């Protein structure tokens, strides 16, 4: 598969695309290929950055955010996101390899994180139509209403990036993780 969009290179970008790519470079110290592809639509890149930034100020910590992203990437078969969030989860989230791998199956040794991942997986797979006992099980494990809301936000953010990266076949600029274990049916 070849990419369906042309990357907008920061050096040749103009207008809103340039401003947003400069913002990405300043914030992350790099300009990931995904954001270069998103820059074709400054509205999309702006929306992605806004939602990502807003969720980063929530109650779910950085490591758990990466675990949620890994679980969603695995479910959606997005190698780019699986690679990116596994790398970031280890580097920034300081998560051990065992937790990064377990997140691919929506699992964790930590009971609270496990409850978040189980709930996220249920919401994703049922498109939000989870059974009431699944919410109660999460609450019994200490998941708060704020976290429940944020889990939905993280699903939305990660589905956005997963689908975008799969559709556009973004060149992976992260240390590549093995292919997703789940095969997404076309």
Query: What confidence tens digit (pLDDT) does each residue in 122-153 have?
Result: 999 999 999 999 999 999 999 999 999 999 99
* Contact call for residues 95 and 107 (beta carbons, < 8 A): no
Q: Are residues 44 and 68 in the same domain?
A: no
| Cα dihedral: 161, 24, 5, 175 (round 10) | -70
As for how many domains the chain has, the answer is: 2
Residue length of the chain: 186
Q: Is position 48 within any domain? A: yes
Tokens of 99: 């937790």
Query: DSSP letter at 143?
Result: -
Instruction: Provide mean pLDDT across the span 53-58.
Output: 97
Specify whether 92 is located in the same domain as 152.
Answer: yes
Range of the domain at 46: 15-56
- pLDDT score of 185: 47
Tens of pLDDT, residues 163-172 = 999 999 999 9
The reply to whether 183 falls in a domain is no
pTM: 0.93
């Amino acid at each position: 598969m070849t990419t369906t969009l042309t990357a907008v290179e920061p050096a040749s970008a103009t207008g809103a695309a340039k401003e947003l790519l400069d913002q990405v470079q300043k914030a992350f110290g790099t300009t990931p290929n995904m954001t270069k592809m998103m820059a074709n639509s400054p509205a999309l890149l702006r929306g992605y950055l806004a939602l990502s930034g807003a969720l980063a100020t929530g109650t779910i910590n950085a490591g758990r955010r990466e675990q949620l992203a890994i679980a969603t990437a695995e479910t959606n078969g997005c190698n780019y996101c699986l690679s990116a969030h596994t790398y970031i989860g280890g580097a920034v989230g300081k998560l051990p390899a065992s937790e990064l791998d377990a997140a691919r199956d929506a699992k964790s040794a930590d009971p609270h994180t496990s409850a978040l991942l189980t709930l996220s997986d249920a919401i994703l797979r049922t498109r939000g139509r989870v059974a009431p006992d699944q919410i109660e099980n999460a609450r019994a494990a200490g998941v708060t209403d704020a976290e429940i809301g944020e889990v939905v936000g993280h699903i939305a953010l990660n589905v956005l990036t997963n689908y975008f990266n799969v559709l556009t076949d973004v060149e992976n600029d992260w240390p590549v993780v093995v292919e997703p274990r789940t095969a997404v049916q076309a």
